[in-house]
Amino acid sequence: MTKKPDPLETAESIGRAVRNRERSAVEVARVFVERAERSAPRLSTYLHRDGARTLEMAAEVDRRLESGEKLSPLAGVPIALKDNLCTHGIPTTCGSRILEGYLPPYDAHVVERLRAAGAVFTGKTNCDEFAMGSSTENSAYFPTRNPWDLDRVPGGSSGGSAATVAALEASLALGSDTGGSVRQPAAFCGVFGLKPTYGAVSRYGLVAFASSLDQIGPFARTARDVALLFNEICGRDERDMTSRSDATPIDLESLERGVRGMKIGIPRDLLSVGVDPEITASLDRVTKKLSGEGAEILDVTLPHARYSIATYYLIAPAEASSNLARYDGVRYGFRAKSDDLQTMYASTRGKGFGREVRRRILLGTYALSAGYYDAYYLRAMKVRTLVRRDFDQALLRADAILLPTTPTPPFKLGEKVDDPLAMYLNDIFSIPASLAGAPALSFPSGRTRSNLPIGLQLVGRPFDEGTLLRIARTWEKKSGDPLGVPPIANGGART
């Protein structure tokens, strides 16, 4: 008789137990399906969830193992997918009305890899429309709530993925990160979130927002679980010419080597204004702990990082305006009724896209228009190069850079939704690494006095995700579980 799975256990231990036949994948899946049935309607984490399909996937994993097939460490592990990752025959809407009812005829590369590995999908998670937002309030369907406080946002745009891992509705999840959309919700929900190096993970089947910035990344409750999921999805894919063979799996045992002899840089010039004192205090605690473990803490400078938000909000909308031109009501998705072709185009895009997406399309189209290209887009690309050089120089001296993931703890639902600039400023610490194409990891570092999660961020050299996870793993071991489990995962909820 197999032992009933404990959903608090790690993805690593769940996968090991399933492969060793100590537990069936169906038993594991049932625990997570039942948990999601209780909490997902209150949190609004999923746009599409099918418990029967999840159990069917789990049963197939059990059959494959019974036949003697060797599966990956993720065999039988429940994983949630952000709704901008194409899934064959399963709705993929990107949180937008313009793709309502769309059923992709193929799987994204990462979805293919996880199917082959024996992972079990729990559903498609809610997100800001076309990944444009920092709160998951821009979803065309409903906002997602933070598992730690239902009156607060989970971050965005991958808020559904972060919240579902925090609430133990899935063991792992995938999101996408363009300017912080994995790291910021990871910080707000108290989980780990990795933006891999640009090119480390194939973007084939990821619905495009800004193609030179988008990257798929994992959410997990432990550093080792992040590595497990990254290992399964990283590497070269011939269908994505930006993917790189430099991305190689991480040796999990290397994460246990500690930080003695490492150099960790702090960009104190970025932290002088606008950072919540409790986040600053958390940064000081982590720095002190890592120093006590043998790391050398030094100051580094990122002089052009202060221009990152302005730079990002020229480059990303410009690329979005091009990528989203394909949604015209002709081939798939929503189509407005009209007898005139031009009116149909305009009405489809006006009604199908939400306010924030329309705003960014307009910004991007303006930046690319004749007479403004050199003044805005081209100049932004030059500043982007300077930001990348700043990181290159700083990382010649340091093995990683440590800074806050966000300037504040999770804010309340509705607090910033009508103030785009205030919302954009929430990404002030996450955007620089995105512009540089560098790997960046958000990890939970504690809680505020109001019991809200705090996340800190590590940025590293290209294709050196292992170093970031090693540092975070050292903190994780020394601090124990710095966060615990939100009340809703135990049947309660803070309101």
Between CA 324 and CA 455 the distance in angstroms is 32
Buried b (16+ CB within 10 A) or exposed e, 84-109: bbbbeebbbbbbbbbbeebebeebbb
Query: Which among 135, 181, 308, 321 is annotated as catalytic?
Result: 181
Based on the residue annotation, tell me whether 3 is a catalytic residue of this protein. Answer: no
Based on the residue annotation, tell me whether 82 is a catalytic residue of this protein. Answer: yes
Based on the residue annotation, tell me whether 347 is a catalytic residue of this protein. Answer: no
Between CA 155 and CA 146 the distance in angstroms is 8
Is 11 in contact with 25 (CB distance < 8 Å)? no
Query: Which among 13, 24, 39, 82 is annotated as catalytic?
Result: 82
Report the C-alpha dihedral over residues 367, 370, 371, 373, rounded to 10 degrees: 40
What is the 3-state secondary structure of 152-175? ECCCCCCHHHHHHHHCCCCCEEEE
Going by their DSSP bridges, the two strands 78-82 and 46-48 should be labelled as: unpaired
Q: Is 101 left (phi over 0), alpha (psi -120 to 50) or beta?
A: left
Query: Which among 44, 135, 139, 157 is annotated as catalytic?
Result: 157
Between CA 454 and CA 492 the distance in angstroms is 21
Positive or negative torsion for Cα 154, 156, 160, 163? negative
Considering only CA atoms, which of 356, 311, 325 is closest in space to residue 143?
356
Between CA 252 and CA 274 the distance in angstroms is 37
Residues involved in catalysis: 82, 157, 181
